[in-house]
Chains A and B, each alone.
Chain A
Amino acid sequence: MTAGGRAGGRTALALARRGLCHALLLASSCLVGLPFVWMLSLSAKPPEEIFDAGFALFPDRWYLLENYGKALTEHPLLLFLANGVIVCGAILVLQILVCAPAAYALAKLRFHGRDLMFAFVLIGLLIPQQVLAIPLFALAHRLGILDTYAALVFPFIVSPFGIFLFRQFFKTVPDDLIHAARLDGLSEMAIVWRLMVPLAWPAVVAFSIFSVVSHWNDLFWPLIVIRSEELMPPPLGVVAFNDEEAGSDYGPLMAAATVIVSPLIVAFLFAQRWFVDGLSMGAMK
């Protein structure tokens, strides 16, 4: 809108409109943020205040230590988090190790069967992970890896989306640079790791965020292959916790939810830009 040398009435109108705008957005922010705020609030309240019919955000009697202490001791919450880190880390490292060289071959080498392989990648992009649950469960059973970390990791090692994304980025690297690297004596593997991956750094970061966020939050597959509590990733841990607290001992339950949710949220708040970019890139999947 151009404002400027126009009548003052129009500026007042614009001001009012802007105010309304912010009012609506603040209201919407409050609604969207309510579950988080309430989670934190309940995690600090003693049971009698939770059952009391008040709306107080802050407890009269702080019960933080008791709730979080109970949450951390009754179930191995920190172990769930560690499992999440181990599994997501393993998935991410293996994904990049497998996908980057393949993406380079698809983007820059000419070989028989390249088009066929790319077609496989595109088909892979079309397939939702849940469709593979039955055969992969059977495969894991046959391999004897049910209820292990390996079962959590192996279906995700090859990521068609990763290959596709890296290939898009690698294609933009000029051929001459690769020729020059070959002249300098770099092997094809060295070209992938010392040239292509550093050049495609934004894609690697975006993919990493997408991968970690989706696997950290995944409930479906762990639910199928994990039974032992000490192997559970965070979402499954929360479910186990919830099933046991069938009553309404909300304090420790909310404390547990807070602990599970916070790592990604904190990371997100520190690197908003990267998260938003990485996850909207993931929308292509």
Chain B
Amino acid sequence: MSAGVVLDRVSKRFGTESVLADVSLEIRDGEFLTLLGPSGCGKSTLLRIIAGLEAQDAGSVFIAGRRADRLRAKERDIAMVFQTYALYPHLTVAENMALPLKMRRMCLAQRLPGIGRLWPGRKAVARSIRDDVAATARALEIAHLMHRKPGQLSGGQRQRVAVGRAVVREPSVFLMDEPLSNLDAKLRVVMRAEIKQLHQRLGATILYVTHDQSEAMTLSDRVAVMHRGTLAQVGTPQAIYADPENLRVAEFVGSPMINTLSAIVASPSGVVLDGVALPLRTGLPAGGAVTLGLRPEAVSLAPAPGAGLLNGTVRLLEHMGAELLVHVALDGGETLTAKLDVARAGLVAVGRAVAIRPHLDQVLVFAADGRRLRCADHGGAVPASRGARA
């Protein structure tokens, strides 16, 4: 493991509250890794610790193979894109992008306003900075904005400039803190694609923080789901979606949310849900309680009631274009959402009784404490093609 970022049991408290507890994580060189989690889960704090803007209480951070704990932010060879972009409002776009280079390539005397110009060697450095800024601006298609101030730019343009300020330094790691959250929905999709392209073009290591699962799923090589200061699961977007480690991850990822139904263990190889016996292997003794996780697309409608089918009544229909969401009240009292192809819309109507067939190979079984039970005969080995959706 050479480049990239390694976190070794990083912990942080604010006062008595533990924000990060023993977080260990490896981000490979050139990898796009997303920290995904609800607000307050510690993901931004973790990013700021990696950046050197915040100090951890325990543990170590390695950047590009170097122990970074004693390094200042500017010595860590990282660049950061902020949620609010944090562009200097009094500087033009060109000056904003030149600033990090200036701070690195010029000595204090050369940076002085006015008299700095008289310092020997400044001209050559200034030219090299100008050239680098111009090259980056061309690549990001912001060359026409160079003499404007941030106040005169649109949200998307500001975002691009903020990225430009990070890119121009050619750091070994990019840190991005919810960089798209201040954009409107349409622009967010556009900028998302641009960030993806940027990653492919630069081959840089990117650590990206977001609470938006669609961003995490579409952008990342791997996703680290955070919950209350710990890593709940780290894996590819497909694995996170189709093969979650625990109920929390299963619930956080996926839209509409995964259906969770409580069932009773009847035997080590079977559970009972709503009086319906399902041949799911849990390895638990009879009488225990488990939770079954069913993605909305992991069920289908059966033409008529029968063995192994769940019976219920249609409560609500939501047309989503190509798909149809059917909200069903099961006879046992629980509710379930099914995602159907819109071609099957004729089969259902609000108030009509329906029979639901769970796809046993896609049912996820969780123990009472939320842990995933993997000793089932089925489950787990889901075709990857099914997984990557948000």
Contacts and interface: CB of A to CB of B under 8 A. Distances in A.
A and B touch in the complex (CB under 8 A): yes
Interface stretch (B53-61, B129-137, B339-347): B53-61
Interface string B103-118: 0000000000000000
Interface of A: 2-7
Contacts of A2: 52-55, 72-73
Contacts of B221: none
Chain B interface size range? under 10
B196 interface: no
Contacts of B72: 2
Given A2-B72, A5-B56, 6 more contacts: A2-B53, A2-B54, A2-B73, A4-B54, A4-B56, A5-B55
Interface string B67-79: 0011011000000
Interface string B25-61: 0000000000000000000000000001111100000
A14 B53 CA distance: 17
The B interface is mostly helix, strand or loop, or mixed, namely loop
A7 B70 contact: yes
Contacts of B69: 5
Contacts, number: 17
Contacts of A4: 54-56
A5 B72 CA distance: 10
A6 B72 CA distance: 9
B7 to A, nearest CB: 14
B70 A5 contact: yes
Contacts of B53: 2
Nearest to B55: A4
A2 B54 CA distance: 6
Interface centre among A2, A4, A5, A7, by most chain B C-beta atoms within 10 angstroms, is: A5
Nearest to B58: A5
A6 B70 CA distance: 5
A6 to B, nearest CB: 6
A7 B52 CA distance: 14
Contacts of B54: 2, 4
Contacts of B70: 5-7
Nearest to A3: B55
A3 B73 CA distance: 11
A5 to B, nearest CB: 5
Interface in B66-112: 69-70, 72-73
B105 to A, nearest CB: 23
B11 to A, nearest CB: 12
A273 B52 CA distance: 35
A5 B69 CA distance: 6
B42 to A, nearest CB: 17
A251 to B, nearest CB: 53
A2 B69 CA distance: 12
B250 to A, nearest CB: 36
* For the complex of A and B, 7 pairs with smallest distance between CB atoms: A4-B55, A5-B69, A5-B55, A2-B55, A6-B70, A2-B53, A5-B70
A183 B285 CA distance: 68
A4 B53 CA distance: 10
A153 B53 CA distance: 57
